[in-house]
Amino acid sequence: MEKVRISKLLSEQGLCSRREADQYIEQGLVTVDGVVVMELGSRAFPNQKIELKKEAKLAQDSRITIILNKPVGFISHRDEDKEYEPAVALITPEQFFRTHLDANKNAKINTRGLAPAGRLDIDSTGLLVLTQDGRIAKQIIGENSQIENGTKVIA
């Protein structure tokens, strides 16, 4: 059996994305068989026990995912040239659906790191998923995703 990068193993287990895994490793939030791993590129055997520490799990729990009906005239991703308005600009406190369960009804929405899982061009309208959570993005647009052309494939 050959050792595999820990970030890949974490991603395959659905615990986080590879990029998130690298961040957690750098922060000392990943253990292999109970031992903290802090070196990027570290490898482990697939049968070893790889876990995220409590702090990493709390960070994941604070990430948001927003489902948005993107109108015509907005682009999915942030525009480097600032020529077009990104869909994330539509996310304002006034447009956020809140329930009686929300503790702070006036809380600002942290859109930092919010990225679209998929794309709709500027002339398209439809469902756009914006997420800070790599696990969700992977389920939607990852290579093993069951979602094809915007519709769920039912086997």
Number of domain units in the chain: 2
Check whether residue 44 and residue 82 sit in a common domain: no
The distance from CA 46 to its chain's CA centroid, rounded to whole angstroms, is 23
pLDDT digits (tens, 9 = 90+) for 102-126: 666 556 677 777 888 888 888 989 8
Check whether residue 73 and residue 144 sit in a common domain: yes
Rounded distance, CA 119 to CA 5, Å? 29
Check whether residue 126 and residue 79 sit in a common domain: yes
- Give yes or no for residue 99 having a pLDDT over 70: no
- Domain range for residue 50? 4-60
Rounded distance, CA 109 to CA 154, Å? 34
Check whether residue 33 and residue 78 sit in a common domain: no
Rounded distance, CA 48 to CA 34, Å? 10
Check whether residue 74 and residue 139 sit in a common domain: yes
Check whether residue 68 and residue 116 sit in a common domain: yes
| pTM to 2 decimal places | 0.65
Check whether residue 70 and residue 136 sit in a common domain: yes
Check whether residue 24 and residue 85 sit in a common domain: no
pLDDT digits (tens, 9 = 90+) for 20-53: 899 999 999 999 999 999 999 999 999 999 999 9
pLDDT digits (tens, 9 = 90+) for 132-141: 888 788 778 7
121 a catalytic residue: yes
Write down the catalytic residue from 102, 121, 123, 133: 121
Check whether residue 89 and residue 146 sit in a common domain: yes
Check whether residue 104 and residue 145 sit in a common domain: yes
Check whether residue 56 and residue 79 sit in a common domain: no
